[in-house]
Amino acid sequence: MDSRCPGQDMKDLRSAMYRCPSCGAEVEIFSDEPGMKCHRCGGYVYREQAPSCITWCPAARRCLGEERWKALLGGGG
């Protein structure tokens, strides 16, 4: 597995705060992450769905690894 995604330039990495739908805590999610586990309740917080490299980048499967790639696409592990 590569240490860096070839489709993500770190200088363009952004973060935003999202509210956990379960407990209302603020969770920081970076632009290279589809979601994050809430530090307060353990629930998952997802950012708005935008086109993701997971679906269009030919290197996504290699970058993420087969198991994680399938899980993020909704196909299980």
Does residue 33 lie within any of the structural domains? yes
Regarding whether 40 and 60 lie in a shared domain, the answer is no
Which pLDDT score, from 0 to 100, does residue 18 have?
A: 92
pLDDT in tens, 8-23: 566 678 889 999 988 9
Regarding whether 37 and 24 lie in a shared domain, the answer is yes
Does residue 7 lie within any of the structural domains? no
Which pLDDT score, from 0 to 100, does residue 7 have?
A: 57
Cα separation, 77 vs 67, whole angstroms? 5
The string of DSSP codes covering the chain is: --SS-TT--GGG--EEEEE-TTT--EEEEETT-SEEE-TTT--EEEPPP---HHHH-TTHHHHH-HHHHHHHTTS--
Split at pLDDT 50, 70, 90, the class of 76 is: very low
pLDDT in tens, 25-62: 999 998 888 889 999 999 889 876 555 677 788 888 88
Which range of residues forms the domain containing residue 35?
A: 15-46
Q: Can you point out the beta strands (E) in the chain?
A: 15-19, 26-30, 35-37, 44-46
Number of domains in the chain: 2
